[in-house]
Amino acid sequence: MKNMVKLFGVIALVAVIGLSFAGCDTGGGGGTSHTPAPSGPAAPKTTTYTWDAGDDSYKLEITEASESRAVYTPKSGDSYVLTITLKAGGTKKSSGTVIVSSSGNESIFTLTLTPANSSTTFTVTVTTTATNVIVTGMGGTITLEDGKTEAAPATVTPVKELKTFELKAEKFPNIECWTNGIKLSDLSAYTPKKGDKLEFKISGEMKEPLKWFSAGLHSRLDEAPWIIWLGGPTDPYIREIPATFKDYTFKIDIENDPSDKGSVYVFINNVLWQVGDGDNSDWKHESGFRVKDSDVGKVKATISNFRISFVGKTP
């Protein structure tokens, strides 16, 4: 099946040229939201980081200490609200003030958070990637608004959140599908390497299930076509996911070493029709549906409340 990677090359090329994330980004690490007042000083700006730890989800909102029209970057004296959403249901919160510091590495900063009801601080480590700012660590003891305390989780997983994620129809000689992607650097500071096995999780809601789902990773080589690696825990190419899915896991094996490591994308595909070439010329996938010429470039499926995370490398 290694020659299968060639079949998906053209998907990546077209999708990157016109990559579109329809809808509004709700966070996922370092996103800034700014709603100006009709007149006078601008409203205080807020930046939001989202991540998972264990079975729970975390959202940290930092609001600037004073109103300003300057481009916002979190700074000492800002306020924070940390919301922990429990898998079992319910939420917990901690709120207070922020101190921002750096150890000398320009891409890594520490946010020291002091709860309003305690002098005991805890820390959140943020890392700047090529395209995002993500939470990569926590430490200390969190004091919640009800006075209870808990240890900060030792391991965190950055999450990218989108209110809507659109899959658009694409049609090529070897494959017809609905597709869209997200830069790997939006999810992690990880550098892709040949031989690594990667694990991802996605969540979302849609009107109908993706019946011919596949996922992939690709990069453009210096003087070579786009390449893509596919993966999944059961069938590595085509399988169904329900209309509403939570922490749906897929795995990708990297079979080639990308030279352009900064432009690696994670793709979500709904493959309607595909034929093989070379050693796999007899291979064919047919769903019973095809992409019409008039539908190319049109949105065919929208995933609402979309969340994606790079869990990490697996054995």
Residue 25 burial by CB count (10 A; 0-12/13-18/19+): exposed, middle or buried? middle
Is residue 186 classed as helix, strand or coil in its secondary structure? Answer: helix
What's 109's DSSP letter? E
In whole angstroms, how far apart are CA 137 and each of 16, 50, 111?
30, 12, 10
Q: Contact, 176 vs 267, CB < 8 A?
A: no
Predicted model pTM? 0.78
In whole angstroms, how far apart are CA 280 and each of 6, 8, 22, 231, 284?
11, 14, 35, 17, 9
Q: pLDDT 10s per residue in the chain (315 long)?
A: 433 433 333 334 333 334 443 333 434 444 443 333 444 455 678 899 999 999 999 999 999 886 554 445 788 899 999 999 998 899 999 999 999 998 787 899 999 999 999 999 999 999 999 899 999 999 999 999 999 999 999 999 999 999 999 999 998 888 899 999 899 999 998 888 888 888 999 999 999 999 988 888 776 533 333 445 555 545 556 678 899 999 988 888 777 766 556 678 888 889 899 887 667 678 888 999 999 999 999 999 999 999 999 999 887
Listed in sequence order, the DSSP H helices in the chain are 4-7, 9-17
237 — phi, psi (to 5°)? Answer: -120, -55
